[in-house]
């Protein structure tokens, strides 16, 4: 399972989701930015052994820019809260859940391109 701990702007974080075959349908977790990252990014990755990728069903952004709004990906491997330039803000969030065969992600960010699906 994912380690539960508090991270902040001075420590940043990188974490991997558990191997999909080890979690039951309905498993979910939510990541919330408590303090804006100042240099490094906050990253959430799929488990390296998974062949099923993260399907992003929509990332809502309060700020809008052409081409980056409502990001969608059926083959994502990384969700990134952008730290360079203090783009991600406290309160930005992403929720990841599983139906037992795939990962799905939804989220919200205050600034455009603060939450990147890759």
Residue 14 to residues 11, 35, 67, 109: CA-CA distances in angstroms?
10, 15, 26, 18
> What's the pLDDT at 5?
46
Lay out the sheet containing 42-45: strands in order across: 13-16, 42-45, 78-81, 115-117
> What's the pLDDT at 68?
53
Strand partners, 73: 56
> What's the pLDDT at 2?
46
> How many Cβ atoms are within 10 Å of 56's Cβ, its own excluded?
24
Mean pLDDT in runs of 10 for the chain (118 residues)? 47 77 90 78 79 71 60 74 76 88 86 78
- Taking phi over 0 as left and psi of -120 to 50 as alpha, with beta for the rest, 91 belongs to left
């Amino acid at each position: 399972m994912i380690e539960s701990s508090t991270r902040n702007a001075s420590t940043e974080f990188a974490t991997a989701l558990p191997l999909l075959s080890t979690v039951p349908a309905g498993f979910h977790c939510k990541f919330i930015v408590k303090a804006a990252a100042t240099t490094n990014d906050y990253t959430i990755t799929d488990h390296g052994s998974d062949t099923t990728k993260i399907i992003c069903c929509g990332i809502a952004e309060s700020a809008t820019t052409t081409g980056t709004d409502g990001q969608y990906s059926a083959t994502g491997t990384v969700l990134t809260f952008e730290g360079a330039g203090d783009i991600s803000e406290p309160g930005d969030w992403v929720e990841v859940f599983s139906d037992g065969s795939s990962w799905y992600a939804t989220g919200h960010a205050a600034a455009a391109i603060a939450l990147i699906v890759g």
